[in-house]
């Protein structure tokens, strides 16, 4: 019989891990037992708790860029400037229908509200496709302290594969969201490329910047002691670009390159948060910055987010673009096979910007 909310007890930490990680209940399942105190394995070291870091609420804010501005050069300039100075920005009037965003958010709630028997069909052990994975935290086997987040990760191979293997409750909405965002993504890449002397986003360049796409559906349930843990620890993404849809709750913080302060990314209805990933930092020889970010745990609200990771193809070799180093600029990064880079990222716990050292000369 399923445990009731008020009577559920865990005798020791190993039982929590069994329940959350191995049985596929996730932290959502744990939160819904009515647990009153954070289990030990979620307690982050003091220095990783955001509450102890200086968070600047007023002086600094990531740029909000209106993509409907008829002066395209102004939009391109604002985007490239934000990519160099912040590595993060928000876009409004981006052309992706708001209905598509609402639909994928609703689908995310539907997915996480499924009973555990349904969700656990998609854990690494059970999933019928290696491109569909339901999980919790980031890399539970590698982490000393776990993160308060569950996710479904969908790596796009083809419409047919998605039709066959992605969960029914969210596949159409996730595919629609991915497909309808592509025009905006191409526009962003065109602007960012032009500023690096890439004349046009031809087929070869398009494959290099956006040869593969992964969508994650993230769920951050209410946490009993949010000050002691994190939703997601400090990391940079390994993508070329990440397009993030967040709900109205908030909690994402970005490390300012200028001050080192943690700056909140306030939810703006209908917007996307865009960030530069490590692949773009490497391709641009460090001109565009992939920036550390993290997510707070929340004591009173559940939160969702839906990032689209736009990446090179796994087999692509990435290094500073010829167009960037043509003027004699010294390459800061070596050529690496992208899947080697991503495997290195997934093998360890989140640790700020350390992944990029893998490609440093």
Ligand X SMILES: COc1cc(/C=C/C(=O)SCCNC(=O)CCNC(=O)[C@H](O)C(C)(C)COP(=O)(O)OP(=O)(O)OC[C@H]2O[C@@H](n3cnc4c(N)ncnc43)[C@H](O)[C@@H]2OP(=O)(O)O)ccc1O
Ligand Y SMILES: O=C(O)CCC(=O)C(=O)O
- Could you list the residues that contact ligand Y (CB under 6 A)? 216, 218, 232, 237, 244, 246, 252, 293, 295, 305, 307
Q: For residues 233 and 230, what is the distance between their CA atoms, to the nearest angstrom?
A: 6
Q: For residues 195 and 81, what is the distance between their CA atoms, to the nearest angstrom?
A: 10
In the chain, what are the helix, strand and coil shares in percent, each to the nearest 5?
35, 20, 45
Residue closer to ligand X (CB basis): 78 or 237? 237
Residue from 198, 241, 306, 342 binding ligand X (CB under 6 A): 342
215 binds, among Fe ion, ligand Y, ligand X, none (CB under 5 to 8 A by kind): none
Give the bridge partners for 252, in sequence order: 295
139 binds, among Fe ion, ligand X, ligand Y, none (CB under 5 to 8 A by kind): ligand X
Least separation in angstroms between CB 239 and ligand Y: 8
103 binds, among ligand Y, ligand X, Fe ion, none (CB under 5 to 8 A by kind): none
CA distances (Å), origin 22, targets 27, 38, 63, 297, 357: 12, 18, 41, 22, 32
Cβ(20)–Cβ(26) below 8 Å: yes
Residue closer to ligand Y (CB basis): 107 or 244? 244
Residue from 237, 247, 278, 292 binding Fe ion (CB under 5 A): 237
Neighbours of 242 (CB within 10 A): 25
In the region spanning residues 298 to 337, those forming contacts with ligand X, defined by CB under 6 A, are 309, 311, 314
281 binds ligand X (CB under 6 A): no
Q: What Rg value do the Cα atoms of the chain yield, rounded?
A: 20
209 binds, among Fe ion, ligand X, ligand Y, none (CB under 5 to 8 A by kind): none
Cα–Cα–Cα angle for 246, 243, 80, nearest 5°? 125
Least separation in angstroms between CB 233 and ligand X: 8
3-state DSSP call for residue 101?
helix
- List interacting residues with Fe ion (CB under 5 A): 237
- List interacting residues with ligand X (CB under 6 A): 124, 130, 133, 135, 138-139, 141, 151, 153, 155, 212, 214, 232, 235, 237-239, 277, 309, 311, 314, 339, 342-343, 346
């Amino acid at each position: 019989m399923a445990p009731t909310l008020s009577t559920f007890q865990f005798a020791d930490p190993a039982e929590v891990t069994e329940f959350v990680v191995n049985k596929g209940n996730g932290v959502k399942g744990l939160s819904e037992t009515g647990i009153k105190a954070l289990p030990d394995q979620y307690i982050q070291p003091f220095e990783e708790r955001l509450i102890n870091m200086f968070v600047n609420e007023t002086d600094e804010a990531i740029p909000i860029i209106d993509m409907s501005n008829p002066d395209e050069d102004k939009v391109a300039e604002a985007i490239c400037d934000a990519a160099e100075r912040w590595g993060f920005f928000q876009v409004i009037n981006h052309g992706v229908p708001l209905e598509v965003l609402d639909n994928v958010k609703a689908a995310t709630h539907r997915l996480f509200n499924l009973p555990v028997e349904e969700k656990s069909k998609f854990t690494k052990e059970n999933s019928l496709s290696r491109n569909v994975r339901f999980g919790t935290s980031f890399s539970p086997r590698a982490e000393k302290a776990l993160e308060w987040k569950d996710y479904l990760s969908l790596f796009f191979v083809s419409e047919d594969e998605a039709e066959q293997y992605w969960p029914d409750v969210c596949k159409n909405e996730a595919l629609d969201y991915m497909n309808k965002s592509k025009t905006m993504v191409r526009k962003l890449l065109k602007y960012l490329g032009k500023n690096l002397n890439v004349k046009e986003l031809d087929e070869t360049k398009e494959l290099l910047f956006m040869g593969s796409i992964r969508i994650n559906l993230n769920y951050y349930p209410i946490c009993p002691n949010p000050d002691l843990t994190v939703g997601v620890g400090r990391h940079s993404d390994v993508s070329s670009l990440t397009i993030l849809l967040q709900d109205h709750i908030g909690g994402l913080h970005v490390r300012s390159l200028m001050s080192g302060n943690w700056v909140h990314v306030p939810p703006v209805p209908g917007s996307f948060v865009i960030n530069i990933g490590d692949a773009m930092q490497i391709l641009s020889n460090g001109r565009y910055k992939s920036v550390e970010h993290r997510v707070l745990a929340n004591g009173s609200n559940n939160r969702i987010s839906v990032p689209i990771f736009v990446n090179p193809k796994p087999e692509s070799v990435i290094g500073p673009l010829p167009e960037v180093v043509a003027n004699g600029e010294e390459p800061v990064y070596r050529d690496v096979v992208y899947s080697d880079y991503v495997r290195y990222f997934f093998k360890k716990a989140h640790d700020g910007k350390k992944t990029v050292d893998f490609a440093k000369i």
